[in-house]
């Protein structure tokens, strides 16, 4: 199958035709999604097939209006969500609702809840408005791989698997949406993301952080049950205080110089690379392969998946470092921790 990359402008008719025939990759402010109309179970099955996504992993539904939202839920919008929707939609906040009985089983993996958000990207909102249907939209990559934040990332993973990628530029936020179930007796943050726990708690004071992949009632959040965000390279996280991390980086840096190519199983790659905040630049030598995440957690969120993909092309082992979980840092650490296989 030939895969085209194109802009929305001047191509809406073609996009609308394609999306009724096969899954299409679309941009959002978080990561690129792999979209199919929510009522088309045949196309939703293709989304799972393209991604190699387990069937018991529920999907997030994307809407462009509250009218479309209401077609997917049972009853009215819960009052507890009114302030959150006013504050954060369109935006990277996914909310769990009691699902409409009409929704296909594959959207929710049999759960009584459906996860819904309104993306903050004009191109995708235009597409949803045009077809007048919500879109399911897990990340447009092979399951377990780092999420795509550019059209090129999608092409790298799914070239030949789909006919169309809508190019909406680089994603502004860079990590997935925050997922909240606010209609439980104790509201829960199910997945850390681009909106911080602290920001949401201002509107939902009783919000707590869920520590597992499902809640006490068995609810599973999209994107939490299975291995995620993992490059082919081995990812090692360096933990501790900033001083302890610096000391460990000094040792690792000496090893990387001595063994750079000797332990690499692929001669086209260096042995070691570094994915680090700017504050650790002093420990990295000019000849080292490194990708820096910026000076703050917000910038790190924008860069993390591009950094994992860049280093995966060039090195066999990626060293990264623990960062503060305050604000956007919680979402960044969630992704880094899931990508890592070793901790030192």
Separation of alpha carbons 157 and 148, rounded Å:
9
What pLDDT is stored for residue 218 in this prediction?
45
CA dihedral 299, 302, 305, 311 (to 10 degrees): -40
Does the annotation flag 30 for ligand binding? yes
Helix (H) or strand (E) holding 311, with range, is helix 297-314
pLDDT per position as a tens digit, 38-77: 999 999 999 999 999 988 899 999 999 999 999 999 999 9
Residue 21 predicted with pLDDT over 50: yes
What is the model's pLDDT at position 217? 43
Which of 216, 156, 144, 151 has the alpha carbon at shortest distance from 186? 216
Task: Return d(Cα 2, Cα 165) in angstroms, integer.
Answer: 11
153 a known binding residue? Answer: no
**pLDDT value of residue 215:** 47
> What are the structure tokens assigned to 188, written together?
């829960």
Reported as a single tens digit per residue, the pLDDT across 260-273 is 545 545 556 778 89
Average confidence (pLDDT) over 297-310? 95
DSSP-based three-state secondary structure for 268:
coil
Angle at alpha carbon of residue 151, lines to 146 and 152, rounded to 5°: 75
Segments of 279-339 assigned E as strands = 290-292, 315-321
147 marked among binding-site residues: yes
Distance from C-alpha of 259 to C-alpha of 256, rounded to nearest angstrom = 5
Domain ranges of the chain: 4-209, 234-343
Give 172-209 pLDDT, tens digit per residue: 999 999 999 999 999 999 999 999 999 999 999 999 99
Q: What is the pLDDT of residue 257?
A: 59
Architecture field, domain 234-343:
3-Layer(aba) Sandwich (3.40)
pLDDT at 125 > cutoff 80? yes
Does 191 count as an annotated binding residue? yes
Q: Is 266 annotated as a binding residue?
A: no
Which DSSP letter does residue 78 get? P
The reply to whether 65 sits in an annotated binding site is no
| Residue 53 in marked binding region | yes
Q: Which fold has domain 4-209?
A: DHBP synthase (3.90.870)
Count CB atoms within 10 A of the CB of residue 174.
27
Q: Is 57 marked as a binding-site residue?
A: yes
């Amino acid at each position: 199958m030939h895969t085209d990359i194109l802009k929305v402008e001047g191509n809406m008719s073609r996009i609308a035709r394609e999306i009724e025939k096969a899954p299409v990759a679309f941009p959002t402010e978080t990561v690129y999604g792999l979209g199919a109309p929510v009522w088309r179970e045949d196309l939703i099955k293709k989304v799972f097939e393209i991604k190699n996504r387990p069937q018991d992993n529920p999907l997030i539904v994307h809407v462009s209006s509250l009218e479309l939202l209401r077609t997917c839920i049972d009853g009215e919008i819960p009052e507890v969500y009114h302030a959150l929707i006013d504050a954060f939609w369109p935006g990277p906040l996914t909310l769990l609702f009691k699902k409409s009985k009409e929704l296909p089983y594959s959207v929710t993996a049999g759960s009584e809840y459906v996860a819904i958000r309104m993306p903050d990207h004009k191109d995708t909102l235009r597409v949803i408005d045009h077809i007048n249907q919500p879109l399911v939209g897990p990340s447009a990559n092979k399951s377990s791989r780092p999420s795509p934040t550019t059209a090129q990332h999608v092409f790298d993973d799914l070239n030949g698997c789909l006919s169309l990628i809508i190019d909406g530029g680089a994603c502004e936020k860079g990590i997935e949406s925050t997922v909240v179930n606010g209609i439980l007796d104790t509201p829960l943050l199910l997945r850390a993301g681009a909106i911080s726990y602290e920001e949401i708690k201002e509107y939902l004071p009783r919000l707590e952080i869920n520590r597992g992949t499902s809640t006490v009632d068995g609810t599973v959040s999209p994107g939490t049950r299975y291995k995620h965000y993992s490059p082919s390279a081995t990812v090692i996280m360096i933990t501790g205080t900033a001083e302890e991390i610096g000391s460990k980086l000094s040792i690792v840096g000496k090893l990387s110089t001595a063994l750079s190519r000797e332990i690499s199983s692929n001669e086209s790659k260096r042995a070691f690379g570094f994915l680090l905040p700017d504050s650790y630049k002093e420990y990295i030598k000019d000849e080292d392969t490194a990708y820096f995440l910026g000076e703050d957690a917000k910038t790190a969120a924008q860069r993390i998946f591009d950094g994992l993909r860049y280093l995966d092309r060039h090195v066999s082992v990626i060293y990264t470092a623990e960062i503060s979980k305050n604000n956007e840092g919680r979402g960044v650490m969630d992704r880094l921790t899931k990508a890592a296989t070793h901790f030192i």
